[in-house]
Amino acid sequence: MDVTFELADSGRYEDFTDIAYALQFERGVAVVHALFDDPDLRRELNRRCVCAREALTPVEPPVVAEPEPLPVIETVQAVKAPSPSFLRRAAALFWRPGGLRSAPS
């Protein structure tokens, strides 16, 4: 019986039927049928097969989805034109038509 548990714990077999098939060539069909006649033994072998196969299966890290970027909210701000400097305002008085330069003589 130790051989059956070793085979189940190896992770190479899906359930007790695979183990029975492998053992029938080594031990003979009659011995295998008598060995696997016990339902508790079959359940235990199936449980061990599942546990061993799960232990051999590599665990993949969970895939984490990239978060969606937040929408860009553009705010419209009133652009205030800069006020002209003192020199520009003074020069505008002299250079515009009707300014100080073109005063009637």
- The predicted-structure confidence for 66-83, as pLDDT tens digits, reads as follows 888 888 877 766 667 777
Query: Which one-letter DSSP state was computed for residue 74?
Result: P
Are 56 and 11 spatial neighbours (Cβ–Cβ below 8 Å)? yes
> What is the three-class DSSP state of 49?
helix
Structure tokens at 52: 């061993």
pLDDT tens-place string over residues 27-65: 787 777 787 888 898 899 999 999 999 888 777 777 888
Are 43 and 85 spatial neighbours (Cβ–Cβ below 8 Å)? no
> What is the three-class DSSP state of 56?
helix
Is residue 17 predicted with pLDDT exceeding 80? yes
**Bigger pLDDT: 88 or 7?**
7
48 exposure class (CB count in 10 Å sphere: 0-12, 13-18, 19+): buried
Is residue 1 predicted with pLDDT exceeding 70? no
